[in-house]
Amino acid sequence: MTTELTAPSVTRTIDARGSYCPGPLMELIRAIREGEPGGVIAVWSTDAGSRIDIPKWVEKAGHRLAAINSQDGYDEIVVEQRR
């Protein structure tokens, strides 16, 4: 299944496949800390929890969930940095 919102072009990809919760979320947080508003970060995760944890965090932290794409054996979660 692909949840496609308005997906902007990805400016940074984090390959967190094989990492367990909260690894993918922590990798995203690190990228947000290093990034700038307007950046678009794609997180690749094989951990099923990321589909739940990352959107919740994105909402709380005031960023935008752009897409959740089911790829071959992993999820791609695309986040637009808002601040």
Partner 1 sequence: MERVVIVGGGVGGTLAANLLVRRLRSRIRRGELTVTVVDDRGDHVYQPGFMYIALGNEAPEHLVRPERSLLDRDVRLEIGRATRIDEAKQLVELASGERLAYDQLVLATGSRIAPDEIEHFAAEAHHFYGADAAQRLRKALDAFGGGRIVVGIAGMPYKCPPAPLEVTFLIEAELRKRGLRERSEVHYCSPIGRAFTIETVSEMATPILAEKQIELHTFFNVESIDPQARTVSSLEGESLPYDLLVLVPPHHGAQFLIDSGLAPAPGGWLPTEPDSLLVKGRTNMYAIGDATDLPLSKAGSTAHFEAPVVAERVAAAALGREPHPIKGTYTGRVVCFFEVGDGKGTLLRFDYEHPPRPPRPNRMWHLGKLAFNRLYWHTVPKGRV
- List interacting residues with partner 1 (CB under 8 A): 19-23, 25-26, 29, 32-33, 52-53, 56-57, 60-62, 83
Shorter beta-carbon distance to partner 1: residue 4 or 15: 15
Whether 18 sits among the annotated catalytic residues: the reply is: no
Task: Write down the catalytic residue from 7, 10, 21, 65.
Answer: 21
Residues 51, 73, 67, 39: is their CA dihedral positive or negative?
positive
**Rounded to 5 degrees, what angle do the CA atoms 72, 30, 44 make?**
0
End-to-end CA distance of the chain: 29
Query: To the nearest whole angstrom, how small is the minimum distance from the Cβ of residue 57 to partner 1?
Result: 5
> Which residues are the active-site residues?
21
